[in-house]
């Protein structure tokens, strides 16, 4: 019996040293759900030219004193030239309108002869475009797994006292069930059953 035990122990040592462990492939898992939030800023920079027509709101205006016609011709001529210069002058009016934090709109009006001769509108702002990318990758469905192997029993002085071999079944719920058979130096066959439950670690 001792020779049989030694042979069994030697076989287990060789098996555990050179064996491939039953060829069970590791469980493959894919990653969790991935959510990506991507904000793209689109730049709007355009120039618009437009000519507007004036609209008379009312024609009853009280004439300011400096514009009342002078009865003296030389003074009247001075008034005329001054008013003509203002009437024919090409005047620019600029304004900028801020659009919150997105940017601004710049307006340029050109006035001549009491009319808007031209208008240019220049915009420079960015509007955010939010793109949500959701990638869902599923885990591989749980499967039952079966393992086989063996072990050596040792005394406190590390002297071999026995050997055993068996099967382990891992269920879909990660519970492990085991069956084993072994022998000791004193002879005889012994059997065993084991059960393990998974402990969830944080």
User: pLDDT value at position 32?
Assistant: 58
d(CA 153, CA 21): 20
DSSP at 20: -
Give mean pLDDT in consecutive 10-residue pieces for the chain, a chain of 202 residues. Answer: 58 56 48 59 56 62 78 87 88 85 84 82 77 71 88 83 88 89 81 87 77
CA dist., res. 120 & res. 25, Å (int): 71
First vs last C-alpha separation in the chain: 48
| CATH fold label, 2-28+141-196 | 3.30.1300
Q: How far is Cα 104 from Cα 125, in angstroms, rounded to an integer?
A: 6
Would you list the domain boundaries of the chain?
Answer: 2-28+141-196, 37-135
Rg (the chain; Cα; Å):
48
User: pTM value?
Assistant: 0.37
pLDDT value at residue 21: 47
């Amino acid at each position: 019996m001792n020779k049989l035990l030694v042979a069994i122990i030697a076989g287990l040592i060789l098996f555990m040293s050179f064996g491939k462990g039953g060829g069970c492939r590791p469980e493959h898992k894919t990653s969790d759900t991935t959510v990506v939030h991507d904000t793209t800023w689109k730049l709007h920079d355009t120039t618009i030219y437009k000519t507007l027509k004036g609209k008379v709101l009312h024609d009853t205006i009280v004439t300011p004193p400096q514009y009342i016609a002078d009865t003296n011709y030389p003074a009247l001529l001075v008034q005329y030239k001054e008013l003509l210069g203002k009437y024919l002058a090409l005047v620019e009016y600029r304004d900028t309108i801020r659009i919150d934090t997105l940017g601004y709109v710049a307006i340029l009006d050109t006035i001549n002869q009491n009319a808007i001769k031209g208008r240019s509108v220049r915009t420079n702002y960015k509007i955010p475009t939010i793109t949500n990318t959701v990638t869902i990758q599923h885990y591989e469905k749980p499967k039952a797994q079966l393992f086989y192997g063996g072990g050596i029993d040792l005394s406190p002085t590390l002297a071999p006292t026995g050997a055993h071999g068996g099967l382990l079944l891992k269920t879909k719920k990660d519970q492990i069930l085991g069956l084993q058979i072994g022998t000791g130096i004193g002879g005889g066959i012994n059997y065993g059953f084991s059960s393990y439950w998974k402990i969830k670690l944080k």
